[in-house]
């Protein structure tokens, strides 16, 4: 029995089925790697009657969580039910029983990090969560290991497949946001309520975890700027492409600036010669800069049944190979302070305005920008579609975001401005 590692799986949905399929398919590889027998001893879900399309013995299935929590032979618990409760309760109970944890639950980790990690340390168990950020992409483990001689200086991440799919399709096919969103929903790339993905919340939760592992800093979501992609129009994408040789990506950014850590999520103009511009469709990419190694990027499928299962089972292997090692986690003794306050940001900005077609308009707008120390790098005025107003596109030189916010607020009060003015930060 000593030579068998027993695993319990909570949650037999899409990812859970992927985990069962991965273990079924590659059990020889896994056992060869760890030098032990590996057994999925119990799978618990409220619904164990639906056919998941994977081979599983009915004896393994149970609706009773205690079949996992109270079984002393189960050493590793995989949590894949998602959400806050009862996932948190189950994880804490399992850790108290001395069980190691593998989870893909980004929402839970992002919100309850301190409590979960304290419990892991108190109970001397490991908790692994490679699947919680970037799905199947090796990310947290390389940060913890191959790159561990580095201070990470900055990270720029495309970590939401839904948002990236929508932006990619808008760019490639010249279609509008709503149109592409509907298609994404039809294809299963977007939820029927897509808010969580398109408003940046999912990206923010993943960024919280990435910032803990990469920078040793834990910042809660309410303390940094999170902005989604719902305001991005075909005009923005076209102007970025044709006039600026850029694309628009929803980026999760953590970046050391003068000893402080900027943390933010927002759509960003990315130059087309930057590798992140090639991360298209549902794929994810994380571009990191280390103080020793320089820039590194990891790319791959950021979600989905099998890619996520790959990371979950990889974490199980990691735990089996490192059970005897001391457990060290969490924000190090770093003194770096996270700043989520976007008003302190210095950036170049792309601005889209809709104005009246009459003399003096530009004079008024440029006057306000100038009063707020914002200098215009380039400007284009389009003559199309005069019924709704004249669109003006500008790119500023580097400016302070607080100045931008105040300037745009004043500009939007001008009579000659016909619609709310939008701006997008430039990488």
Residues making contact with a copy of itself (CB under 8 A): 22, 25-26, 29-30, 32-33, 35, 130, 136-139, 141-142, 145-151, 275, 278-279, 290-301, 304, 306-307, 309-311, 313-314, 316-318, 321-322, 324-326, 328, 332-333
Length of the chain: 427
With respect to a copy of itself, which residue has the nearer C-beta, 82 or 331? 331
With respect to a copy of itself, which residue has the nearer C-beta, 187 or 409? 187
Q: Maximum CA pair distance of the chain? A: 85
Residue 214 Cβ vs a copy of itself, minimum distance, rounded to whole Å: 13
First to last CA, the chain: 55
Q: Among residues 147, 167, 189, 216, which one has the least CA distance to residue 302?
A: 189
Residue 24 Cβ vs a copy of itself, minimum distance, rounded to whole Å: 11
Q: Report the C-alpha gap between 330 and 290 in whole angstroms.
A: 19
186 catalytic residue (yes or no): no
Q: Name the active-site residue from 41, 99, 169, 206.
A: 206
Beta strands in 272-365 (DSSP E): 283-290, 294-301, 337-339, 346-355
- Burial class (CB within 10 angstroms; exposed 0-12, middle 13-18, buried 19+) of 313: buried
Q: How many CA atoms lie within 13 A of 137 on its CB side?
A: 24
Asked whether 132 and 105 are in contact (CB, 8 A), the reply is yes
Residue 330 Cβ vs a copy of itself, minimum distance, rounded to whole Å: 12
Residue 332 Cβ vs a copy of itself, minimum distance, rounded to whole Å: 6
Residue 313 Cβ vs a copy of itself, minimum distance, rounded to whole Å: 4
Q: Which residues contact 394 (CB under 8 A, 6 or more apart)?
A: 350, 351, 353, 376, 377, 378, 379, 380
With respect to a copy of itself, which residue has the nearer C-beta, 46 or 292? 292
Q: Is 152 helix (H, G, I), strand (E, B) or coil?
A: strand
Q: Which residue has the tokens 């273990």?
A: 23
**So which residues are the catalytic ones?**
206
């Amino acid at each position: 029995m000593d030579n068998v590692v027993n695993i319990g799986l909570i949650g037999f949905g899409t990812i859970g089925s992927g985990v069962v399929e991965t273990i079924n398919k590659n059990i020889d590889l896994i056992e060869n790697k760890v030098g032990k027998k590996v057994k999925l001893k119990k799978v618990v879900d409220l619904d164990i009657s639906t056919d998941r399309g994977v081979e599983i013995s009915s004896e393994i299935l149970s609706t009773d969580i205690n079949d996992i929590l109270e079984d002393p032979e189960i050493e590793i618990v995989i949590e894949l039910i998602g959400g806050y409760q009862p996932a948190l309760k189950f994880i804490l109970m399992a850790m108290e029983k001395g069980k190691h944890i593998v989870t893909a639950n980004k929402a839970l980790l992002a919100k309850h990090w301190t409590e979960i990690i304290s419990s892991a340390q108190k109970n001397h168990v490991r908790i692994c969560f490679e699947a919680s950020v970037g799905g199947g992409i090796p990310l947290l483990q390389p940060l913890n290991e191959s790159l561990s001689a580095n201070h990470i200086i900055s990270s720029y991440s495309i970590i939401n497949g839904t948002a990236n799919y929508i932006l990619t399709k808008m760019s490639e096919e010249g279609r509008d946001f709503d149109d592409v969103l509907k298609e994404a929903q039809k294809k299963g790339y977007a939820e029927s309520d897509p808010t969580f993905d398109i408003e940046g919340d999912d990206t923010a939760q993943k960024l919280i975890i990435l910032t803990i592992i990469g920078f040793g800093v834990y910042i809660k979501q309410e303390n940094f700027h999170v902005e989604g992609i719902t305001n991005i129009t075909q005009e923005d994408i076209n102007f970025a492409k044709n006039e600026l040789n850029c694309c628009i990506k929803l980026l999760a950014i953590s970046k050391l600036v003068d000893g402080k850590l900027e943390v933010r999520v927002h759509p960003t103009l990315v130059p087309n010669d930057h590798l992140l511009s090639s991360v298209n469709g549902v794929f994810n990419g994380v571009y990191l800069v280390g103080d020793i190694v320089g820039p590194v990027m990891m790319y791959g499928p950021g979600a989905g049944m099998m890619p996520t299962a790959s990371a979950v089972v990889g974490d199980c292997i990691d735990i089996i190979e490192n059970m005897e090692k001391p457990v060290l986690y969490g924000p190090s003794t770093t003194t770096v302070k996270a700043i989520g306050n976007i008003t302190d940001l210095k950036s170049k900005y792309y601005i889209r305005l809709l104005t009246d077609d009459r003399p003096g308009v530009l004079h008024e707008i440029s006057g306000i920008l100038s009063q707020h120390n914002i200098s215009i790098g380039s400007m284009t005025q389009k003559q199309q579609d005069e019924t709704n107003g004249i669109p003006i596109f500008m790119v500023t030189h580097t400016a302070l975001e607080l100045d931008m916010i105040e300037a745009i607020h004043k500009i939007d009060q001008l009579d000659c401005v016909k619609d709310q003015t939008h701006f997008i930060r430039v990488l």
